[in-house]
Amino acid sequence: MSGTEIERKFLVVGDDYKKLAYASDRIKQGYICSGHGRTVRVRTRGGCGYLTIKGPSLDGGLSRYEFEKEITLDEAYQLFKLCEPGIIDKTRYLVNSGDHVFEVDEFYGDNEGLVMAEVELSAPDEPFEKPHFIGCEVTGDRRYYNSHLRAFPYKLW
């Protein structure tokens, strides 16, 4: 997959999302490099590996270029050896809301206690139905980028 990713991020209130989820996966991800809004990420999810490259956002964090390629688990484990210190460990829950799917991430380890949701949109002004567990919007707040959480974990805030 490649192209422009448009998404909005929110903090999550409560844990009702777990009952509403139709699927969930454990995700581990590391960053080969991150800086100046650009990242190269390796991830394992659901028995597969992924290599993702993201470009900088030009509109306050709402959208950015993304390239993602599925790789083997062995390739992912080898690439983890090249990653900067700090692995992101989380469970992602998928929750339907109207015509959209919210991806709710519950973090572990140094980011324990942080739960965020994001929704991907086809246009910046596309309307969507917020589920009741959606709290404060954090779109564009770099503290909540996974690449930032790797180096400055939630427990240190």
Query: What does the CA dihedral 111, 39, 44, 93 come to, rounded to 10 degrees?
Result: 50
Q: How far is CA 140 from the centre of its chain?
A: 13
Distance CA 148, CA 140 (A): 12
- For the chain, the maximum distance between any two Cα atoms, rounded to a whole number of angstroms, is 41
CB 63 within 8 A of CB 6: yes
Closest residue by Cα to residue 43 from 32, 54, 29: 29
Averaged pLDDT score across all residues of the chain: 95
Taking CA atoms, 30 is separated from 137, 146, 147, 151, in Å, by 25, 9, 8, 11
**CA–CA dist 92, 32 (Å, integer):** 22
Distance separating alpha carbons of residues 68 and 4, to the nearest angstrom: 11
pLDDT at 14 > cutoff 90 = yes
Q: Is 145 a catalytic residue?
A: no
Instruction: Given the residues 17, 22, 31, 108, select the one marked as catalytic.
Output: 31
Q: What pLDDT score was predicted for residue 1?
A: 60
Give the model's confidence band at 128: pLDDT under 50 very low, under 70 low, under 90 confident, else very high: very high
**In this predicted structure, what is the pLDDT of residue 37?**
86
Mean pLDDT score, 100-107:
98
pLDDT band at 152 (very low <50, low <70, confident <90, very high): very high
Question: What are the residue ranges of helices labelled H in the chain?
Answer: 17-20, 73-80, 146-151
Total residue length of the chain: 157
Q: What is the mean pLDDT of residues 65-83?
A: 97
